[in-house]
């Protein structure tokens, strides 16, 4: 039987199920081509010019790597001419990027973390790209980048598609258009994404957790309690032994959870309380939350479902607790106790 490529999957979602529009299909295909180009750049490593510091900071005051900037440019260039987008926003840009006047504009908004896991770039550990698609509200003011920010401030429940590409031993694109979660593996010889998993489901129970233990002394009481219980293992209240994994690239940690279950926590802690958390809502937490929920898992700040948060600004940060449903619910209950 012929391979089911990403293009074919999207065509079937459009034609047979009416789940997506032609423009959304086009948008996702373009994003996938950009991910392929980023995968090639990442794969060159020390052979290319791409490793090392860019010598600049992003809007959040983080030092940019050359590959952060390159990946951002690849996504901007790929998406601005197609006529499917109204505007784009990225971790690496202070303000939204408007579609230049010489190109037609479409009804979608795209946000992305062009390269997630920057600290892992130079050490050859998995990194990725995360993206989220929203519809541009009717009559939105797109006259300036400043004015356009408002159009993006929509709850995660409004996302029409979300996905990530993980650049690991293989490049895998994981996608939802609100019809379950599917995964495509990059066939490097053919230069295309081929469907390798359908209907991804995160197991409800787990024995694996991911958290940066170096922050332990800053955590709030409910997170302290939950992690202490996991560490107590089979002798503790959870009655089973847990294992810990922390890649330090959200994409890779979430991909492990998508594949074999687990729980990921980047909670708000005392040293970042004024910022609201570490991870960014619009292009990290929301797309991952949509994917995780579509795979039968849950995503919460501990106090609220992530997808229900009404954003107030583009680069807003949030606490993220996501993965196996029963574990996320347990931590949420500890926050209420």
- Number of neighbours of residue 250 by Cβ within 10 angstroms: 26
Q: Does 116 bind ligand AHG (CB under 6 A)?
A: yes
In this structure, what DSSP letter does residue 189 have?
A: T
Minimum CB separation from Mn ion for residue 12, in Å?
31
Minimum CB separation from ligand AHG for residue 201, in Å?
23
Which of the residues 58 through 97 are near Mn ion (CB under 5 A)? 91
Minimum CB separation from ligand AHG for residue 218, in Å?
11
First to last CA, the chain: 54
Structure tokens at 153: 């401030």
Structure tokens at 251: 């994409």
Q: Does 269 bind ligand AHG (CB under 6 A)?
A: no
Residue 80 backbone dihedrals phi, psi, to 5 degrees: -80, -20
Give me the 46-85 binding string for ligand AHG, x by CB under 6 A, dash otherwise: ----------------x-----------------------
Give the interface size with Mn ion as a residue count (CB under 5 A). Answer: 4
Residue with tokens 């295309």: 192
Bridge partners of 172?
166, 185
In this structure, what DSSP letter does residue 67 have?
A: H
Buried b vs exposed e over 300-311: b needs ≥16 C-beta within 10 Å?
bbbeebbbebeb
CA distance linking residue 164 with residue 254, whole number of Å: 10
Minimum CB separation from ligand AHG for residue 269, in Å?
10
Task: Name which of 289, 28, 313, 319 is nearest 152 in CA terms.
Answer: 313
Residue from 96, 117, 163, 267 touching ligand AHG (CB under 6 A): that is 117
Q: Does 216 bind ligand AHG (CB under 6 A)?
A: no
Give me the 277-306 binding string for ligand AHG, x by CB under 6 A, dash otherwise: -x----------------------------
Residues found near Mn ion in the complex (CB under 5 A): 91, 113, 115-116
List residues binding ligand AHG (CB under 6 A). Answer: 62, 91, 113, 116-119, 212, 248-250, 266, 278
């Amino acid at each position: 039987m012929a391979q089911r490529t990403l293009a074919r999957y999207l065509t079937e979602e459009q034609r047979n199920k009416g789940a997506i529009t032609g423009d959304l299909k086009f948008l996702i295909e373009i994003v996938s081509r950009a991910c392929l180009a980023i995968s090639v750049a990442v794969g060159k490593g020390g052979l290319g010019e791409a490793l090392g510091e860019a010598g600049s900071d992003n809007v959040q005051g983080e030092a940019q790597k050359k590959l952060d900037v390159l990946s951002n440019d690849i996504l901007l260039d790929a998406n601005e001419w197609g006529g499917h987008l109204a505007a784009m926003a990225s971790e690496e840009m202070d303000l939204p990027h408007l579609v230049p006047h010489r190109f037609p504009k479409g009804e979608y908004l795209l946000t992305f973390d062009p390269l997630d896991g920057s600290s892992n770039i130079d050490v050859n550990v998995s990194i990725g790209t995360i993206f989220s698609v929203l519809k541009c509200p009717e009559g939105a003011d797109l006259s300036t980048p400043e004015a356009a920010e408002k159009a993006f401030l929509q709850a995660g429940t409004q996302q029409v598609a979300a996905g990530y590409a993980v650049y690991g031993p293989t490049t895998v694109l994981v996608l939802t258009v609100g019809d379950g979660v599917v995964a495509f593996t990059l066939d490097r010889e053919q230069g295309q994404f081929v469907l390798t998993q359908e209907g991804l489901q995160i197991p409800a129970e787990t024995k694996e957790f991911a958290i940066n233990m170096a922050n332990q002394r800053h955590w709030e009481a409910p997170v302290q309690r939950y992690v202490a219980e996991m560490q107590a293992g089979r002798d503790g209240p959870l009655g089973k032994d847990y294992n810990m994994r922390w890649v330090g690239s959200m994409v890779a940690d979430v991909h492990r959870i998508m594949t074999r279950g687990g729980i990921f926590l980047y909670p708000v802690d005392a040293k970042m309380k004024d910022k609201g958390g570490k991870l960014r809502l619009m292009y990290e937490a929301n797309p991952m939350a949509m994917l995780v929920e579509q795979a039968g898992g849950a995503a919460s700040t501990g106090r609220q479902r992530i997808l229900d948060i009404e954003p107030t600004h583009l680069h807003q940060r949030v606490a993220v607790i996501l993965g196996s449903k029963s574990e996320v619910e347990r931590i949420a209950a500890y926050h209420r106790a």
